Structure 1
Amino acid sequence: MNTLKAISILSSNLFLLLCRYEPIGYPVSVHLYFYDERFQGYLVRQEVQKVGSRVRETVEVWAVPQATMQLENNLREFERLKNLEVGTEWDPKERIFRNFGGVIGPLDEPVAVQKWVRGPNLTATIVWIDPAQTVAASYDISVDVDAEYTQYKPPLQRPLRPGAWTVRVLRLWERVAEARFLVMPLAFKGREPLRQEEDSWLHAGPPGNMYLEQGFQQLRSVLKLPPQEPALQEAQQRAQLVGKPLEAWVDRTVGAFW
């Protein structure tokens, strides 16, 4: 049995080795695809070569953003809520984000947009939580009977901490929906690789860990957030990454959302 298992593992490793490719230079092309005016994904063409070989090939990658919105049960009046999305460059006339794909960096100004169908008036609380479990913002929105979209861009102090953020929609401080979005770490600044001494501030979060003049840490217990210290320590360690470790972090975070 152990022999068969060992053979299976060796076969799997050999298969992975034979299928490994290394990129050569920058992407050859990137095409954006839409359906019904909604962004669907990127088609990326990249020149590569197989590991251990000098033969060059061109591969295509279909990159699609993953849906992250989750709804709770027993929504009642919040059954009106049909979508919750975070991005930049919101076009209120066309009701789309002009930053296609929702790629957000530490220096961007994201906006949270909610899509509704007709229904009863309601008031919702919107809460933003950063990767270190810091409550970055909290505010209420009023949703009228005929409202189709509500949106607000909190004036968050930058840089935003890179990693997975969460936006929650609450009814009387009970979660009814949430969506995750990525603030992408930067591997380059001004076309040059990040340097630890000069550029670590870009990934360190806002000064004093405060995104707004008013702090919201008293909401942590109400929101039932996990202990902050481990997440904050991990975020501080990642803020110092450069070179290959930084590139690996970028790849992991992007892979979790695409």
Structure 2
Amino acid sequence: MKKLLLLTLAIAFTFSVNAQIETPQSSPASKLEQRVGLTDVTLEYSRPGVKGRAIFGDLVPYDKLWRAGANKNTMVTFSDDVTIDGQTLKAGSYAIFVKPMKGSWEVFFYTDTNNWGNPQNWDDAKVAVKTTVKTYEVPFNVETYTIDVNQISNSGAALEFIWEKTYAAVPFTVPTDTKVTSSIDRVMNGPSANDYYAAAVYYLEEGKDINKAKEWIDKSMSLTETPRFWQLRKKSLIYAAAGDKKGAIEAAKKSLAAAKEAGNDDYVKMNTDSLKEWGAM
């Protein structure tokens, strides 16, 4: 009877420890992912409500730093370098802080994203970009704080902030033209030395058309000013697989010499072993 009582108490205690009551957050978390041109923009923030309160100039005081949301830092991530107010903001993640003023906001992109609220010790060196934008009064009440990516074009967009009756936007541009032009040039100029090399090695390792692999490795070598020892090693193996022992030996000797110069003992041994196998040593 005593053992049964103890077991019952243990089960009840375990249940009480593990049981959790889940309730809605007063400022629910939100995550927005948006592609602008060829750049990915991700916003993560919490969304407080007005709830009958006066917001800017009251709940959120003027001329004081605000975390641009609730709970953990509001955070934006750009997959490419972007331009804000003529300043380059490097690809990466940033906390957004705002200093609201009458008629305008100062907006800060801060490199330290691991704060709950404002940083305990603000560091100007961590401000990657600072800009000032105008605010506008909207003719209706926006109950839930919202940040969005709007005004989207191939070359840019705007981070838009709207809450209660206040609207502000931070325009930014993205390097779409540079990326597209680079892609066009790359494709129109044909495969690179690395493309030919990768294709040749794949064909060798997968046992596909070895003569095509030989053609591609030759093309890669012709486009490479100074082939490295590991590239020459692959060339020797492709030639050997294609039945061109003379070409394999020539490539292996070049790889051996380059490996010795680079001090790479592994490739020295591999080339030496192959040259012995092919009767060249």
**TM-score (structure 1 length as normaliser):** 0.25
As a proportion of its length, which structure holds more strand?
Answer: 1
Larger Rg: 2
**TM-score (structure 2 length as normaliser):** 0.24
